Structure formats: C-alpha cells, structure tokens
Amino acid sequence: MKRKQIRLSFIILVYLLLGCSQEPTRKNELNFTEKDIPPASMLKGHKFNFPEVLNPRGISIVGNKAIVFERKNTSDSKFHIIDLQEDTYLISKGVDGMGPGEITVITQIEALQDPRKILTYDPELNVFSVFDLSDSSRLAERQFRAPDTAFFFTDAAFTSDTSFIAHLVDGWTKYLHLTISGDTVSAFGNWKNMIEGRELPNGYKEEELDANLVSNVFQGPLRVNNSRTYAVKAGLKVDYIDIVRLSDQSITTLIGPESTIQDFRIGNTGGYQMPTFPPETSTTRYRDVFAGENSFFVLFSGKSYSAISEMTDINRIFEFDYSGKPLAQYQLDFPLFGFAVDERNRRIYGVTTDQEPNLVRFDY
C-alpha cells in the first residue's frame, strides 16, 4: 500500500456506541455479533445497462445525480454522470493525462457545498481536482496538490471544502484533521487501543508490533456525512467500525460481527513492519461505508477478494444509528464493490462486481 496515498472519503464517527447486547470491554468500545443484527430484509436489485460504464470502482450521489467512477484505465471517461430521476446517462468527464485539468485515476469522489461541483483525488499525481457537473467540459476546472506534511496518511475524507480528516500510518496517532494548505487542526486517537488486551494471531505480543503495522492492519474506507458532523471508518481486514464525532474528536469503536483479528504475518517494507495476509485464508470484511444524517451503512463481504464476484454468499449491508444500535440488515442479490444511499427516496445504489459490472438500484 502506498504510504502517501490518500483515498478521499467522508468520515463521521460517533462518541457513544450504545444499544448492543454486550457491555463495553473497555472505554469507548462495544462488541456486537450476528445475533445482535436484525433479521435480513431481502432486496431485489434493478440492474442498469449503461454501455459507457465499463469497470466501476465506486459511486457518489450528488443531488439527483449518481457519479460513478471507473477503476484505473487510460480512457478519457474517468467518471460518469447519471440522472437518477430519469434513469438516463448524461455525460462522462475526466481526461486521461498529466497536463492541466487532466487526471490518471480516481480513488474517491466527494460533493462540495456548491451542488454543481465535485472533488476527486488522483493518488498517482497527488492532485485534487474540482469538476463542474453542470458544464460540458471534460477537464477539471481547478486543481491543487495534496498538502506536504510531516505525516504519512492513506484514507482521507473532507470535513469542509477546505479541510479533511485522514488516517495516519507512521505513528500511534490515529487521525489527523488538517486544512488543504497543510495546517494541522488536530491529531487524535491511538492505534494501540485497537490491539490492547486482544488476542493476536500467531502468538504475537503487543510489544512486537510497531505503529506502521498496526495502522495498516486496520486500514479501510473512511466517510464523512453531508452535514460534516460525524465520520465513519470501517475495517477492510478486521471487523471494526470507528465512529468519530467531529465536534470533539471523540471516538467509539464497534467490534463485530467477528471479534477476532484475522491471520497475518509480519513482513518488512523499506525498514518498516507491514502485514501480509495469507491469500488462502484472508477475507475482505467491510468493503465500503456510507455516512448518512441519522444513521450509517456498511457493506459487509466476509469473502476472499478472489471470490467477491461470485453469486453465492453475496454482500450484506448493515445499518446502524450513531449510538451504535443495529437498525437493519439488507441482503443483496448482486455483489457490490461500492455503494451510496439516497436516504430521502430510500434507495441504495451500488456498482456491481459481477461478470458484467454496472449500476444497480435497491429499494429498501
């Protein structure tokens, strides 16, 4: 994993995670199991067939539009704009290249306060780009480089048009809140809390693991809700959800549905410890997150990466309120790589990872 890669995402984490059946095992941590999750509601997906969508990576909803972005490619259609009211394809944007207004890849798309504008991040160029959804230009109207800081971080989520929260990987500090000019707003959280008192694989002891390794074990998607009040981060390799209340940087960690830390080995990259997960046993846990206004949604896989496209044991989506109470479970009938929620119309939109990937809609 690139140590300076920033994957844009919005995160909203809550201070008190309440409502689960088990008592907290230590301060600001709660556990839940499959028994605590409500019975699954079976959702039947309506899959679209937009030929312009080739190999989608993720989706964001901005107003009545879906913004679907592609995985790494060399085409000039980095993302697609789809009218959700009319279910029609509008236009693609994003010119491939390293010149003014051009980008090479998108790892996250975020809405800005101006409903006509979105922000993308290109980790290869280390550049943020602002696109106008209302015009016909395929180029970014404005670009700026990610700030140079003394910290290494990966996932990031914007908390305003000029600031973001990021997941740190070069020390025990968990999160950094900073401006796009590089000024630190705050740094908070401790990665040691994620392993303190827990059984580690292969008989490892807490004192054997450095901060770089622990932070990478707990990598995962990070999102912030539209009102910029909460951030939510979930584990890609470990079953956990961080809920951060942005007003006071309070963190509560929700562990589940599995409480164990899956098997990893201690590797070494450039003199730093790095985890390696055995491919024959490793599974993807939380694939994506959506932070809503009164609740948040997480996309749970539980399958190996090589099996994510299979039509058996398809993804589920769990919904929690910001006290940590499980509200609902949705069983999907298409495997998803990423998703977003239209809360007003109670619709879940996802990008599929089946043999013919495209956009799909679920009514819930």
Region 271-293 average pLDDT: 95
Phi/psi for 331 (5° steps) reads -95, 120
| Residues above pLDDT 90, as percent of the chain | 80
Cis bond before residue 24 (omega within 30° of 0) = no
The pTM assigned to this predicted structure is 0.90
**Length of the chain, in residues:** 364
Task: Say yes or no to pLDDT of 14 above 80.
Answer: no
What average pLDDT does the structure give for the chain? Answer: 90
Please state, as a whole number, how many other Cβ atoms lie within 10 Å of the Cβ of residue 186: 12
Mind listing the pLDDT tens digit for each residue in 59-105?
999 999 999 999 998 889 999 999 999 999 999 999 999 999 999 99
For domain 7-43+60-271, say whether CATH 2.130.10 is its number: yes
CA 120 to chain centre: 14
pLDDT digits (tens, 9 = 90+) for 207-224: 999 999 999 999 999 999
> CB pairs under 8 A, 24+ apart, for 145-152?
146/6, 146/121, 146/180, 147/178, 147/179, 147/180, 147/181, 147/182, 148/182, 149/176, 149/178, 149/182, 149/184, 151/176, 152/3, 152/4
- pLDDT for residue 345: 97
More confident residue, 175 or 149: 175
Please give the pLDDT value at position 8.
36
Q: Rounded mean pLDDT of 6-25?
A: 34
Looking at residues 186-209, what average pLDDT do you find? 96
- Mean local confidence (pLDDT), 126-139: 95
Tell whether the model's pLDDT for residue 151 goes beyond 50.
yes
Q: Give the pLDDT of residue 35.
A: 97
| Residue 107: both structure tokens together | 């790892």
Asked if 359 and 66 touch (Cβ cutoff 8 Å), the reply is yes
Q: Average pLDDT of 155-180?
A: 92
Above 80 in pLDDT, residue 21? Answer: no
Residue 344, pLDDT > 60, answer yes
Residue 118 one-letter amino acid:
I
At 142 the pLDDT is: 96
2 pLDDT above the threshold of 80? no
